[in-house]
Amino acid sequence: MTNAAYRRSQLETLVEAQGGCRATPPLLLAAAPYFDLAGEEFGRRLLLTTDALGNEYCLRPDFTLPIAEDYIAEGTREPAAFSYLGPIFRQRENGPAEFDQAGIELLAQPDGDIALDQVLTFARAVLSLYGVTPNVRLGGVGLFEALLQQADMPDAWRSRIRHRFGHTAAMDRLLTRLEKSPEQPRSEQPSRDELIEDVTARMVSAGLSLSEGRTPAEIADRYLEQQALDAAHIPPATLKLLRDYLAIKGDALSALRQIEELGEKHKLFLGAPIRTIRRHLDGLGEARVSFDASFSPRLDYYTGIVFEMRGQGDTVLASGGQYDRLLERLGAKAPIAASGCALWVDRLEAEWPK
């Protein structure tokens, strides 16, 4: 028996067997938390509806957010594991907007490495139900953050560069701008007080609130910082390091070796995050594993290691990783470790050899 219904019931069993709680969040969810967490970029994928008072709701677009919100509302800090299987809804260009998704969420686990292994094992198990030996693509958010922290540059540039990690075009534009960055003769700067006075006058005359949004002091400070940044160049060697690093991709072992060499050349301590990635390679067995230094989801709550698994058709079948900053973003009072993955059931079924 190898029909779709059989595979589906095997999948059910696997999801149930995750030793945690089977999560069944409602189909209709408040839309605001999704906009707050992921912004307009994700917001345009939502299927929205409005109640009589104009409050916006969406059809469940993923399981992670309602699971994490429920966990925070419970108020426990205990380790918890959730698994799920059911429909989600996303706008797309053509065709139906309903998809089945399966996945797990591991929250507040004492050891993030073990949790990630569990996630990878689960994803592999689901893929093998569908006869898929995946191409795994790993990304190192923690690795990049470690490199950025140690690279030689004025501090204010670090967050600006971090912010563009995962958006190849925006990162490229920033690096290109920094590489060109002409030696501007520094003109005499007005003092901070003068700037604040000037900005305040402009805001008052335009009828802007001085406290509701950006304040005159904030604008003046960033203006001065910007002037200082234009003068404070990132050393060309550092820009070259970033370019070289972000270009590394390919077979995981050789990619990691290249990164080690790059780290040695620039006297960076990258041993710990590289070792962590290596450990997970062992658990991935016969899957073809590549490492892509520039790969990261665009959401800044990802940490540590992220991954994607693809099948024959090169479509993403599973994606996930570690996102230790997610629960804080959603209102948790202290950091709570989190990792998990989501699998696209319809795409998996399409992988089954016909």
Partner 1 sequence: MTSITLAVPSKGRLEEMTRDWFAQRGLTITRPGGSRSYLGAIDGVPDVTVRFYPASEIARELMRGNIDLGVTGRDLIHETSESGPAAVDFAHDLGFGHADVVVAVPEAWIDVTHMHDLADVASDFRSRHGRWMRIATKYITITRQHFARAGIAEYRIVESLGATEAAPASGVADIVVDITSTGSTLAANGLRVLDDGVMLKSEANLIVSKVADWSQERRATLDALLARLGNRAWS
Q: Residues interacting with partner 1, by CB under 8 A?
A: 35-36, 38-41, 43-44, 93, 159-160, 163-164, 167, 169-171, 173-174, 177, 195, 198-199, 202-203, 205-209, 212-214, 216, 218-220, 222-223, 225-226, 298-299
For tokens 């550092």, what's the residue? 238
> Whole-number minimum distance, CB 236 to partner 1, in Å?
20
Q: How far apart are CA 201 and CA 195, in angstroms?
A: 10
Nearer to partner 1, 218 or 261 (CB): 218
Ramachandran bin of 278, using left for φ above 0, alpha for ψ from -120 to 50, beta for the remaining angles: alpha
> Whole-number minimum distance, CB 51 to partner 1, in Å?
17
Nearer to partner 1, 219 or 317 (CB): 219
Nearer to partner 1, 202 or 275 (CB): 202
> Whole-number minimum distance, CB 198 to partner 1, in Å?
8
> Whole-number minimum distance, CB 38 to partner 1, in Å?
8
> Whole-number minimum distance, CB 203 to partner 1, in Å?
4
Nearer to partner 1, 25 or 43 (CB): 43
> Whole-number minimum distance, CB 194 to partner 1, in Å?
12
> Whole-number minimum distance, CB 220 to partner 1, in Å?
8
Nearer to partner 1, 38 or 146 (CB): 38
> Whole-number minimum distance, CB 97 to partner 1, in Å?
14
Nearer to partner 1, 42 or 352 (CB): 42
Q: Spell out a b/e string for 283-318, using b for 16 or more CB atoms within 10 Å of the CB, else e.
A: ebeebebbbbbbbbbebbbbbbbbbbbbbeeeebbb
The Cβ-side half-sphere exposure at 12, using a 13 Å CA radius, reads 6
Nearer to partner 1, 57 or 352 (CB): 57
Nearer to partner 1, 167 or 233 (CB): 167
